[in-house]
Structure 1
């Protein structure tokens, strides 16, 4: 049998489904025996792993599905595909995570660890599953516990500690790390095949970070040079970490227990073991960091889209009124928005200037997207091909890009113990294997346990130290600006400070072999990005008749590695001794995150990111001319450095009564790049519940988990908007029997709590199923009927391009794709809320510029709502939930379900919908150093 490279891992797996005789062959039996042997070895006896320096008193817990083990041998993959057998610790966290959805109402302090795991330092002797001295080193030990298989790494030297971290990372995520170092370089198709999903992944990132090898190395050199002793230590740590990864590659290759995906993609020969797994190098870590930074830590970049909708608004209403309408939908600084820092302190950033300067709005109809993909003849790929790959990318990793990270933190003043309580975590999507991995690292200058991105786990990135925990949510403030560079000579030269300057052309050529499964022809294409000093070109247009290219510049461009210093500090018990030290560490992280902190006495918050100081009069929401007067202050194009707003200007706080975050607006006057920070935001689901706990006092860990879990199962539209819609309808005025029955069902659902919950654990059917179906069908109908007549189709379409109208769990569209868990982050709930309240004559702060439902007439609005409700009620489940590659049409529970998207050979089961972080901590420290 020839072992040729398929387009994707899944193509190879489909091949094996067609080859049942393979498992029966003599050569296969020899192969299986050899590959299983390391899996059945008895772990050596181990001494207790110490738990020194742990001040949590057994009250730190965490969870990360589906499981710690993200590697699988070829045999394990085949057994999983054929019989559903899971490797040890590959899926063992999925059940506890899923069961919180039905188990949280009865949660007590003593049952928290039925749904989470003990996150204390160390491993009790009776819970040690294995002890390992990686590569025979005497200065580091990796202990894994029986329950989760998490590596607990203890080193006597700094080098040995980091070597062990690298070795453990490769043990748990080698294939995933390899996939993402190729994604970061735009080389995934050459590595794993040319399927649309693979093309989409590499295109998604290469357009925004088209780095050369020299660029990757320069990031390392600059990070070391600019950070003194800490920079040198980071380099030493990274090199030790790489040595550990490569030691595992060598050992697993020799022992033939490396991930089976290398066999299935032709990098290794399953029979002879010919082939190689390339060692990792320092620039691979930069490539990985560029992917993570792009996914989670970069806000902004929508200036061209903003300009297009503004032009549409001005075309509809005229310049003055159109601008007013546009601003009302943009909700830059909505007075009704839920805030993380809610004590009234103002942190102005990216506000609308009194008189905008330097704007470079495109001429109507002139904007075109810059081609990225070219075929082997050098011609731009067809729109259908690029659209297909972009769709595939969104379905695969879109959920991670705009995830549902959240945080609930309560001051000790309001807790039963007098110590702060926190429930928080990041949302990284649901994948098999998971992008994050868990670990504990104990060594000189390092003492932490928690989650890190695979391949970047030389430090814990989100987790706990000896007497404190920290976590993050994406904040989305604008660190990306779009510059209109005037073209000269031809389409690939532009004016830079008056001189006609050539753009840099950066290419990545990829090719792939046929698949064994279906004989699909080999393929190839080239990705080409034109770079200016103002960043990569994203669009072409004319402005006032002049030909321009729109280039996007982000402050973290060429600087993804810089954040390593902040993470190093967070792991250092000698540095972080209180909330101010935590904030100082977070200041060294240039990704756009909200950071939260809790110890036994304090809570704190800090918003991170390199926020550029813009020229006076520049509006961050729109493109500006690429001229010195409108550049970031003291911007150096050679290094992409500039003046950044000081730490004091970033939203920050110590000791506020409580903090909540669900990617909502961080603070008063702090403008994010996101549309939809208005009167109804899913952050309200947390804020309302935590306020009630604060008012009652005596908050406990279990009470805060319940608040989070309750919000995680609530339909935002049903809790915060539906009651107002029903008020307009007025059940007594409904004469149509179909609409009246729908109103009754919806009202009963609201009264019951507006949740999307199963009738019982494992039932896979919803209580209030009809009401949920009706609202899912009704929402897009009512939004369109409410707003399109007044806005006109062009402006309505433009606004929906800025902000999708809906993001229900079953949505197969929008920024999260389908089966991604995250829901209700982006949508028109605030617009509907404000408009309906205006029609009802209620007080609305920051109202829309016009009333839209029925033209402002209550009776006309009522007619529209009843008409669309009747239409929605008549839709079948199969029409509302049409089915996809995971679910049959009409299966409501399955349509909402969370799927662990495969990034390797192992598949995991679906779980019911929960709108919560992937990795999550529950903490309450009892003492402090």
Structure 2
């Protein structure tokens, strides 16, 4: 094996040098003085970070160098080290040392820090700094400014943008090969937005024509942005410094340079926006599994008691839930009606998911297909490089983190409680870790635009999360219910009796054919994916009530369940709100910020800070429902239960007015980690109860605020402390230990296990290295015990009482665990984000009830030991004993990246490759991917 590897390395090295003459890195640009920029009121007190690095493109030679020798192109990894170091250095953090862990986010580039200045057009310059390589775009005209933003995006993310426009169109395998990861991506995203080219163009036209001057300007900006991308695309192809993935995937010939990188167009941006919106700005849509859980509860306990049990697990307005608005404000939305009408529960056992994939052939039909001997037409020495890409350009698991319904966190403190008297904010989106990153840093300065921050690659004509001249803003995914499930009656056009397979449906008394949308993808072998050629077809049915997701019977009659999302066909409309946020003449204070955020249709929580105020606004196209409809369950497709003013031709309806969205200015502090927004405001889905990961922030920031004198460093320390804390250990382990301690424990081994857990709890219940870079945890045995114990404990506490069917049905709505190393959790392994999903609230409420504590919003039934303390204790001891018998190798079984038993590695963050480069692991931290630390001392 070693001999073969050596031969491969030698052949690859020879190929690397042979290709070096023609596939070089982009030619260096001469350094020049940075252009003057807009006035900056942050005065050096704004900072940010976005690993792995600003640069995301790599030529073929650079990719091969990374594969063979572990080298990295400039600025592809230089933000990993400071980001990683915060986990070990936050405890001694001061305002003066913040820049050891964050970038200086001031406007412009100091003269002695200018690395290069390029001028893709006479009316725009792109200045890059020496430290990070972030593009600072300065335009003298609006068109030139946006052209420069597109050109810089091409420089930094051309390949990634190309991937995403194909993901959005459901055409990734035809573009990048048939690797299982590629198939999974297009199957994950395309069904939620199965747009035709006409659909994409209709969104462009609607933005341009239906939004006045701002809409026309937005599309003009988008066109200039696309023109800039295409300019770089053409120049890099001609100069042979384009991303090497185009060679690896067979789009460009390595020797002759023949082939094409397809031009970008405005509809590509809509396809990109549909992916971004589906990832981070969606909410609701889980009504079918919710209904199945309700049916199981009613089967177990009877209709009345079963409904009560289901409601207690649903926790839709739990009084103990941590809320972003903790001042008692109520914003009723998607509330449970006093008596629901129109609910369309399926008949038991009748639900079947709608199939997506058909006609598999070749490699699509068999995952074990034998790779052909010669996958590409190239010299033998080059052909041998295929071994370097055995997992494809997108390795398996690249987008596991996208299973999240919502991510990101925010901590803001009013100036009344800070040392300076000015607000302090630490906030950012938790978008996962990728190489290159899905977001890109940029500064844009031009007529009507003045901002620095992060934008999603390919839709970065404006900064989406960042700072303006005297204010900063950020967002967290809100997840409120903007997607409903309708049960449409099926029919046949010829009048015959319908079945579950029928492809026509009843709409306002007529039998209409469903619209069938298809994608047929085929692929040939490439270096990136040398498996055999293959193909398959994806198919979805679309109705006036949305896309078909399931079929069932209701009262014996066949129905199709459809998902109707308010942002469907409107993902790109939010461009107007982002345009406003970038416009210094529009956003001048907290109120105008809220007015800008009103124009964003995605379900987001928006946060704002300037020198005077902090503010919060929840955005989203919240449909106005019939008040008798229960949004947590499927509803009958009938005019009486449609959204108010619903028009299926444009997918529009009446929306709740801005005043009804949760909002606030100058609450003492705000925290958000995808938790409940406000009293009576229902975040779709299960899991907003007494223990939520937002408690980790709320407890710390509340204490800081009460003490006063908050600084940027102290608020960052609070965030970082929460980022290393095991939620189970901080907020549920005390309950577990109280039950265990209700009587003396006779077994010495169990006493030792309990002592270790208690010592860990007293030391903060953190997953923290013994010293920075040690790759070993303090309290490692206690952490291993908790990881082994939690899933066993939950199962044995709840399943006997619930029964297997109901336990599994509830688990389909809310995963039991999501520890950092839990490859079985919703996020998958090595993703960073953890503890968003789990049964911690259920365990907390049940254990406190067994202990005799007062519990607000308790579970309807006691489960641990059937409510008997002694029996509950026996269950905990039995499962703890089972956990102690688990070896480290069993708890952390290892994967392609880690050896079995390596606890630190099992938790570690890995930048999932969405291109040819891979990067080193980072120590686990549960914090935003892009993060700002801001305190404005002045205002316009």
Q: Per-residue CA shift, 1:184-222, capped at 9, x if unaligned?
A: 000000000001100000010111110000000001111
Partner of 2:379: none
Partner of 1:234: 218
Partner of 1:67: 53
Give the distance between the partners of 2:625 and 2:787, measured in 1 at CA. Answer: 42
Deviation (angstroms), 1:35: 2.8
Partner of 1:575: 586
Select which of 635, 643, 662 maps to 2:673: 662
- Check the 8 A contact 1:899/1:911 in 2, yes or no: yes
Change beyond 3 A, Cα 1:294–1:879: same
Deviation (angstroms), 1:382: 10
Deviation (angstroms), 1:615: 1.2
Select which of 63, 83, 86 maps to 1:97: 83
Aligned ranges 1:250-265 → 2 under 5 Å: 250-265=234-249
Partner of 1:433: 436
- Check the 8 A contact 1:76/1:87 in 2, yes or no: yes
Give the distance between the partners of 2:866 and 2:361, measured in 1 at CA. Answer: 55
Q: Per-residue CA shift, 1:464-520, capped at 9, x if unaligned?
A: 000000000001000000011111015100011111100001001100012458853
Select which of 50, 55, 64 maps to 2:41: 55
Partner of 1:269: 253
Change beyond 3 A, Cα 1:760–1:767: same
Q: Secondary structure at the match of 1:207?
A: helix
Q: Secondary structure at the match of 2:53?
A: coil
Aligned ranges 1:132-531 → 2 under 5 Å: 132-134=118-120, 137-375=121-359, 396-399=399-402, 401-489=404-492, 490=498, 491-516=502-527, 520-531=531-542
Task: Count how many residue pairs are aligned between Structure 1 and Structure 2.
Answer: 906
Deviation (angstroms), 1:383: 13
Give the distance between the partners of 1:544 and 1:288, measured in 2 at CA. Answer: 41
Q: Per-residue CA shift, 1:219-252, capped at 9, x if unaligned?
A: 1111122210000000100010000000001110
After superposing the two structures, state which structure 1 stretch, 114-123 or 51-60, moved more: 51-60
Q: Per-residue CA shift, 1:330-370, capped at 9, x if unaligned?
A: 00000000000111010000011011111111000000010
Answering whether residue 59 of structure 2 is matched by residue 86 of structure 1, we say no
Deviation (angstroms), 1:873: 1.0
Q: Secondary structure at the match of 2:39?
A: coil
Change beyond 3 A, Cα 1:17–1:677: farther
- Check the 8 A contact 2:295/2:348 in 1, yes or no: yes
When normalised by structure 2's length, the TM-score is: 0.94
Q: Secondary structure at the match of 1:832?
A: helix
Give the distance between the partners of 2:347 and 2:396, measured in 1 at CA. Answer: 30
Give the distance between the partners of 1:721 and 1:397, measured in 2 at CA. Answer: 27
Change beyond 3 A, Cα 1:393–1:502: farther
Change beyond 3 A, Cα 1:661–1:393: farther
Deviation (angstroms), 1:886: 1.1
Give the distance between the partners of 2:652 and 2:238, measured in 1 at CA. Answer: 46
Partner of 2:717: 706
Give the distance between the partners of 2:680 and 2:267, measured in 1 at CA. Answer: 39
Answering whether residue 622 of structure 2 is matched by residue 611 of structure 1, we say yes
- Check the 8 A contact 2:34/2:117 in 1, yes or no: no
Give the distance between the partners of 2:397 and 2:594, measured in 1 at CA. Answer: 34
Deviation (angstroms), 1:17: 9.1
Deviation (angstroms), 1:521: 1.9
- Check the 8 A contact 1:404/1:915 in 2, yes or no: no
After superposing the two structures, state which structure 1 stretch, 722-731 or 657-666, moved more: 722-731
- Check the 8 A contact 1:468/1:600 in 2, yes or no: yes
- Check the 8 A contact 1:495/1:501 in 2, yes or no: yes
- Check the 8 A contact 1:399/1:815 in 2, yes or no: no
Partner of 1:807: 818
Deviation (angstroms), 1:399: 4.2
- Check the 8 A contact 2:25/2:59 in 1, yes or no: no
Give the distance between the partners of 2:544 and 2:490, measured in 1 at CA. Answer: 13
Deviation (angstroms), 1:302: 0.3
Q: Secondary structure at the match of 1:36?
A: coil
- Check the 8 A contact 1:104/1:709 in 2, yes or no: yes
Give the distance between the partners of 1:778 and 1:750, measured in 2 at CA. Answer: 15
Change beyond 3 A, Cα 1:17–1:345: farther
Q: Secondary structure at the match of 2:329?
A: strand
Partner of 2:879: 868
Q: Secondary structure at the match of 2:933?
A: strand
Partner of 1:31: 19
- Check the 8 A contact 1:394/1:815 in 2, yes or no: no
Q: Per-residue CA shift, 1:808-843, capped at 9, x if unaligned?
A: 000002321110001100100000000000000000
Deviation (angstroms), 1:33: 3.0
Q: Per-residue CA shift, 1:294-340, capped at 9, x if unaligned?
A: 00000000000000000000000000000000000000000000000
Give the distance between the partners of 1:65 and 1:778, measured in 2 at CA. Answer: 33
Partner of 1:9: none
Aligned ranges 1:771-786 → 2 under 5 Å: 771-786=782-797
Partner of 1:117: 103
Q: Secondary structure at the match of 2:579?
A: helix
Q: Secondary structure at the match of 1:189?
A: helix
Partner of 2:861: 850
After superposing the two structures, state which structure 1 stretch, 115-124 or 47-56, moved more: 47-56
Partner of 1:7: none
Partner of 1:6: none
Q: Secondary structure at the match of 1:103?
A: helix
Change beyond 3 A, Cα 1:346–1:516: closer
Q: Per-residue CA shift, 1:120-171, capped at 9, x if unaligned?
A: 000000000000001xx11000000000000000000000000000000000
Select which of 822, 839, 849 maps to 1:838: 849
Change beyond 3 A, Cα 1:18–1:610: farther
- Check the 8 A contact 1:731/1:743 in 2, yes or no: no
Q: Secondary structure at the match of 2:21?
A: helix
Give the distance between the partners of 2:208 and 2:357, measured in 1 at CA. Answer: 35
Give the distance between the partners of 1:392 and 1:20, measured in 2 at CA. Answer: 21
- Check the 8 A contact 2:280/2:407 in 1, yes or no: no
Deviation (angstroms), 1:45: 3.2
Answering whether residue 728 of structure 2 is matched by residue 717 of structure 1, we say yes
Q: Secondary structure at the match of 2:256?
A: coil
Give the distance between the partners of 1:676 and 1:903, measured in 2 at CA. Answer: 31
Select which of 537, 542, 557 maps to 2:568: 557
Deviation (angstroms), 1:270: 1.0
Deviation (angstroms), 1:37: 5.9
Partner of 2:9: 20
- Check the 8 A contact 1:140/1:154 in 2, yes or no: yes
Change beyond 3 A, Cα 1:663–1:516: closer
Q: Per-residue CA shift, 1:512-558, capped at 9, x if unaligned?
A: 01245885321000001111011110001011100111110000000
Change beyond 3 A, Cα 1:75–1:324: same
Partner of 1:638: 649
Change beyond 3 A, Cα 1:619–1:17: farther
Answering whether residue 768 of structure 2 is matched by residue 757 of structure 1, we say yes
Give the distance between the partners of 1:840 and 1:549, measured in 2 at CA. Answer: 46
Unaligned segments of structure 2, at least 5 residues: 370-390, 493-497
Deviation (angstroms), 1:23: 4.3
Answering whether residue 938 of structure 2 is matched by residue 927 of structure 1, we say yes
Partner of 2:385: none
Deviation (angstroms), 1:34: 3.4
Q: Secondary structure at the match of 1:34?
A: coil
